Structure formats: structure tokens, C-alpha cells
Amino acid sequence: MKSREIHLTQHFTGKVKPEYFEMTEIDLPDPGEGEIQVKNAWLSVDPYMRGRMIGIKTYVDPFQVGGPMEGGAVGQVVKSKADGFAEGDWVMSMHGWREGWTAPAAGITKIDANLLPAEAYLGVAGMPGMTAYIGLKRMIDLKPGESLWMSAGAGAVGTAGIQFAKAMGANVVATAGGAEKTAFCTEIGADAVVDYKAVDDLAAAVKTAAKPLGGVDAYYENVGGDHLQAALDVIKPFGRFAVCGMIARYNDDTPLPGPTNLTQIVAKKLTLRGFIVSDHFDLQGQFIQDLSGWMMAGKVKTRDTIYEGVEKTPEAFMGLFEGKNIGKMLVKI
Amino acid sequence: MKSREIHLTQHFTGKVKPEYFEMTEIDLPDPGEGEIQVKNAWLSVDPYMRGRMIGIKTYVDPFQVGGPMEGGAVGQVVKSKADGFAEGDWVMSMHGWREGWTAPAAGITKIDANLLPAEAYLGVAGMPGMTAYIGLKRMIDLKPGESLWMSAGAGAVGTAGIQFAKAMGANVVATAGGAEKTAFCTEIGADAVVDYKAVDDLAAAVKTAAKPLGGVDAYYENVGGDHLQAALDVIKPFGRFAVCGMIARYNDDTPLPGPTNLTQIVAKKLTLRGFIVSDHFDLQGQFIQDLSGWMMAGKVKTRDTIYEGVEKTPEAFMGLFEGKNIGKMLVKI
């Protein structure tokens, strides 16, 4: 089996450009003892991948230049020489950005594509969903009746977070950019929505939107920059921040200054907690249990933005930073 | 009894200037039923008071223009018409910035000036000590063997914090400005000290100083600005920040931008907790118990910077922002 795969041509800072990626085609070797060969069906692109392109070790190692990229992927086993894996089985792996792969079966997760669509394991039931869940449950400890501001409300984590927060009995103010995204936030249950691209004063707009909900008790940070500044202004005393990401900052050529109002951390006695999903897998069982219940009760909808063909993976990835996705950004092979 | 007292002439932002204060002399009324008359012996000036001079409600009400200022003070009862208070009793009150006062005894705390010097109740055994304790115990949850970076290590909170952290079995890197202050940090037990005024790259200097201690696990924030930027750079993954104050920012005319490296909150999975001592009085019993033990074991020294005469109170207060104090800044009447 042949497989086309995307390689990184160099490490870089600043804006992501197409020339940083190249596609090559390889012949997949037959699986050896304990290995499987898999044809990927869906590839994930996620903002965190940006950090691995800089070439500096952060919390994960950088991508290797000239080698295949890594990322979440789901696909079906084509050939197996590993116990417990049969042709046709659906699996989830980090062998993404490629059409197929041959690798050891150890560490590869089998998924049930009858229970949920296979691609959901890259979205609401996968890393973005778990990220939303941990932020709300463990970082913020969101309580029924409280009000959450979810930033990037139409993104993969945001759409999961809005619906999970509602399912937990909380109120949600969502922010998103543009009419289509804000409409989607409303559709999935946000009590109030602000189009950050359409307002001059984000803090004032969120404050007004949150007023009927009793103000903002907690903020889910996906954006950084002006959103963080506004959140520090808007949040109520003792507010909690789940700091999941700051996508507005990832492509800066040179680091930009932070908010001018950080003294609010003291004045309002705020707690800010940064986190990475992989440190919290102990909550996975509880997440799956809660999510199953919410899905059966019809409380969680999903929507994906889909690019077709492995060659579109860099374009899909770059689209994340231009806000081109509603819901989870996926590449269909 | 006559009393001279300091009034605020206007609310203001920016640098503190002498003309914002004026002194007047009043005749203290005799105490009515349930009241006491007290001659203050020691007045406290503290950085948090700056926030009450802006004229905007933050976590405490602003000082009233034209009325006597408030602040921690200890003194002795001169006349009493209140049960439980006798002439000569030592008391602690918020009726500071003045030589004496007549007011209801309700809410006034009697102190034991035999156990500790009366002025210690404004320092290590008072609000600054309690602030240091809460930051270490509750915000950071400092563990034996961990390493703490204490900023403003020669200040009232810093000197308490260095000694408490050592008494808790932790290691301490202290930062302070100038040779006298850094020498004092060493004298009271800091394992390593950096003179932030003498280095070009604060982060690199602290990193080097902390290396023999295994790096920095937790940061006690009193300063803001370049200190916060350096702390985000230096701190180890899962680091905890107790955010007590940002004195470098209090006198800004216009708010200045924050650090350029806030994405470290995510990358290093940091927790930042802002706090105000008054929300944590439930820990006071435990604080007094721990402090008594440490003092009896000779683990806590104090040092004060003393201005004499109520008329010097504004100068003492302004001195806080110029780093003129080592240990607690006090005014002796």
C-alpha cells in the first residue's frame, strides 16, 4: 500500500506558510510481528500542533524536520500481525498527517465506530472534548447556576465546552467571530453570544450580555490578547480562569505584551490555571460516562469543518489560525 | 487630648506626591458609653493603601477626601467607657495616620505587648506576616524540599515569607534591590539572593541562583512587571504563583502592558492565585500557633524601618514605592 504523507520542511516562528510543508509518497512496509497496517480515514489538525513546529521543546518534543508529522487520526486496520487487532478494526493513533501507516500496535487505541461516528473520537469524544471537560470540571470546578464565558465558542473545544457547561447546569456567554459562528453558538445552547469582530469594546459587550445571567463567574481561555484583557475586566471577584490556549498569540513573530490589567488578579482575587489534557487522563472514565449520558439525552450536538484529501492537511491547519472552522477541523481521506 | 492626623486632599493616579496629604490638629472628644480613647504608639504604612487613594472602589472603599486616613495602628487606652478595656491596655485598630482617637471599642483588638513588642502586631505577627503565611500555606501549598522565589524579599511580607518558608522546610531564592537588602535576605536565611538592580537579565540570574536548589517550584509575587515576566520564564512546570501584589504597577499614570510570555501559563501548566488577607482569617489561629513555635525556636527575626512623628507618615508611605524600607515600614509616635 502506498501512502502520501506531509513532512515539515523547517522549524519556524511567525505566520504559518504553505512552504513549511511538503508531501511525499512512500510504500508502506508490511507489518512485522506485533505490528499493524492502518488506512487512515480522518485526520485531526489542532492549534497545539503549532508549538511543535517552533523547534524548541515545550511540553512536547518538536516535530522532526523531514519526517512525517504526528497528530490524531482514526482509521481501519488493513493488515495485522498483532494480537487483538483484526482487519477492519477501527483504531485511533497519533500517526496523522498521512494516508496510512505501519507501526507497532502497542499504544494504539481501538475505538467503537458503532457507538459514535469514527471522527467523533477526534472531536467531542476525543482530545478537544476531554480538554473542554477538564477545563470546566477540574480547573474551574463549574457549579450549577454559575455563568461561564467560553471564548472561541465555535471552535472544537468551545462547542464542546458550551454544551458541557449547559449540561452541568451552568449559564454560558460565548464569544466567536462572525454571524455564522455566533448563530452556531446560540444553536448549541449558549444563553448569550457576542460577535467579537463586530464590537469595539469587548469587555463592555460581554458585561452587557452577561448581565441577565448575573455576571461572569468563570472564563475559559482559548484566545489570549484582547480576550484575556477583557476577561480580567469583566470577571467577578473570586473568578476562575481555565487557561487552555492562547491561539491569538501562537503566530506572533515577536512576543507581544500581555494585558495592562493584570493587577486585577490581586484586586479580584482570581485564580488562573493553565493545563494540558495529557496530565489529566485520570478523569477519562468520568468524562466518557458523563458524555455518554449527555449524548443519550440529546444534549450534545457536533459539527465538523471538513477538508478532503491528505494534501489539504496544511491548508486545514492554517485555517485554524484564520478562524475558518466551525466545530472540529478535520481532514477526510 | 489633642491629636494631629493626616488627611487626603484629593484622589489621584500616578506617582504619590506630598501635596496629596495634609495634617490637621483636632481635639479628641471624651469617650461616650462603649467608647475608648487611645494614644497611638505605632502606625503602619502598607502598599495596599495606594489602591484606596485612587477613588474607585476596588476590594475596599476608597479613602475619603478631607477625612482622616485609615490604617493599622497600635496604641494604649487613655480613657475607657467600654467593658473590658482599661487605661494602659494595648490595642490594635485601623485608626492609623493619627496620634490618637476616640471611637467605639467594638471591633478593636486587644494585644499582648508582653508576648511580643507592640509594633510586631503591625508586622510579622500582623497583616504582613499573615499575608506571607497565607500565600505560602494556602495559595502555593509549599512543601518541604521545594524551592520558593520570594520577590521583594527585604520587604515586610518578603522578610516574613523567607523565614516562614525556611521554617516550613523549603528552600528560598530571594530577590531584592541593592547590597544592604540582599545582605539582609541572606541574614534571615535565604539560600540564594539576587540583586535585581545589579543584573541585566533577571530570569537568567534567578535561574543560575536557583540551580543548586533544583530550580524554582513556586513564586511569591509582590512586584509585577519584569519580575512577573522573569518568573514565568524561570518557573518549573506545574509551578504555583501566590499573587499578593504588584507594587511596581501601583503608581503607573497609564496602565502598562503585561509580560510577553503569558503563554507559559499553558505551556508550563501554571497556577496563579491572587488573594487578599482578609478573605483568609480562618487561618489566623493556625498562623499564630505556627508563628509562636517558630519564634520560640529562634527561626523568625524582625527588622523595622522607622520614621518618627505622625507628620512623617506620608513620607514613610511614599518611601515604600522607592524601596526605602528594609523589613516593616513603621511610624513611631
Query: How many residues appear in chain B?
Result: 333
The predicted structure's pLDDT at residue B79: 98
Contact A271 B269 (CB under 8 A): no
Residues B133 and B74 in one domain: no
* Torsion angle of C-alpha atoms A70, A74, A80, A86, degrees rounded to 10: 160
Residues A116 and A136 in one domain: no
Q: What is the rounded distance in angstroms from the CA atom of residue A36 to the CA atom of residue A40? A: 12
Helix (H) / strand (E) element for A322: namely none
Interface residues on A facing B, Cβ-Cβ cutoff 8 A: 51, 58-59, 224, 228, 237, 243-246, 249-250, 255-276, 279
**Minimal Cα distance from A271: which residue of B?**
B273
CATH for B21: 3.90.180.10
> Domain range for residue A112?
2-122+303-332
- Mean pLDDT lowest for which of A39-43, A250-254, B15-19, B298-302? A250-254
Residues B157 and B211 in one domain: yes
Residues A272 and A226 in one domain: yes
Domain count, chain A: 2
Interface residues on B facing A, Cβ-Cβ cutoff 8 A: 51, 58-59, 224, 228, 237, 243-246, 249-250, 255-276, 279
Over 70: is that where the pLDDT of B59 sits? Answer: no
Q: What is the rounded distance in angstroms from the CA atom of residue B201 to the CA atom of residue B206? A: 9
Q: What is the rounded distance in angstroms from the CA atom of residue A54 to the CA atom of residue A231? A: 28
Contact A243 B257 (CB under 8 A): no
**Kind of pairing between the strands at A240-243 and B240-243:** unpaired
Residues A26 and A168 in one domain: no
Chain centre to alpha carbon of residue A10: 24
Tens-digit pLDDT profile for residues B27-53: 999 999 999 999 999 999 999 999 899
- Which of A52, A138, A232, A263 is most worth mutating to test chain B (most B CB atoms within 10 A of its CB)? A263
- Mean pLDDT lowest for which of A16-25, A245-254, A272-281, B113-122? A245-254
Residues B16 and B97 in one domain: yes
Mean pLDDT, residues A1-26: 96
CATH for B140: 3.40.50.720
**What is the percent of chain B where pLDDT is above 70?**
99
Residues B269 and B141 in one domain: yes
Q: Which residues on adjacent β-strands are paired with residue A75?
A: A40, A91
Residues A103 and A169 in one domain: no
Q: In terms of pLDDT, which residue wins out, A74 or A60?
A: A74
- Residues of chain A contacting B260 with CB distance shorter than 8 Å: 255-258
Residues B18 and B73 in one domain: yes
Residues A259 and A318 in one domain: no
Q: Which residues on adjacent β-strands are paired with residue B65?
A: B8
The answer to whether A239 touches A170, Cβ cutoff 8 Å, is no
- Neighbour tally for A167: CB within 10 Å: 18
Contact A272 B276 (CB under 8 A): no
Residues B36 and B108 in one domain: yes
pTM of the model: 0.92
Tens-digit pLDDT profile for residues A230-280: 999 999 999 999 999 998 888 888 888 999 999 999 999 999 999 999 999
Q: How confident is the model at residue B156 (pLDDT cuts 50, 70, 90)?
A: very high
Residues A178 and A262 in one domain: yes
